Structure 1
Amino acid sequence: MNYSKMKEERLLAFYEKVRQQVALDAGSHYRFAGDGVRAYADKLREEMDKRRLRFTLIDWSTDR
């Protein structure tokens, strides 16, 4: 996926959905946000950092 051509609103929305899923996973025995999702979120974050967008970081400490 070419993140550099993605609109800022879409980047932020995708990242926020991942952040919400990780937060939901924190209280569950099941994990839907695994390593692939983490890699996806990292790519989104890198692009958002390049654009200097403001966003809430994902707290991965509760993921495992």
Structure 2
Amino acid sequence: MKDERLLAFYENVRHQVALDAGSRYRFAGEGVRAYADKLREEMDRRRLRFTPINWPEDGR
């Protein structure tokens, strides 16, 4: 996967988590978090620069 595509996938998850923070509904659950963690691990391995996801305190 190209670096740009990897960063775009992660950015989309980060954006969804930010939208969820302003809503009473949560769409980014544990499965999404696991997916984001895998993306982050690969981005770290490639030494890409990215903005980390600020996950809510309750883990959702």
Q: TM-score, normalised by structure 2?
A: 0.92
Q: Which has the higher helix share?
A: 1
**How big is each residue's C-alpha offset from its partner over 1:5-43, in whole Å with a ceiling of 9 and x where there is no partner?**
x11001000000000000000010000000000000000
- Identify which of 47, 51, 55 aligns with 1:56: 51
Are residues 1:25 and 2:20 paired? yes
Q: Are residue 47 (structure 1) and residue 60 (structure 2) matched?
A: no
Paired residue total: 59
Q: Please, which runs of 5 or more residues in structure 2 have no aligned partner?
A: none
**What percent identity do the matched residue pairs reach?**
81
Scaled by the length of structure 1, what TM-score is found? 0.87
SS at match of 1:61: coil
Query: Superposition RMSD on alpha carbons, in Å?
Result: 1.2
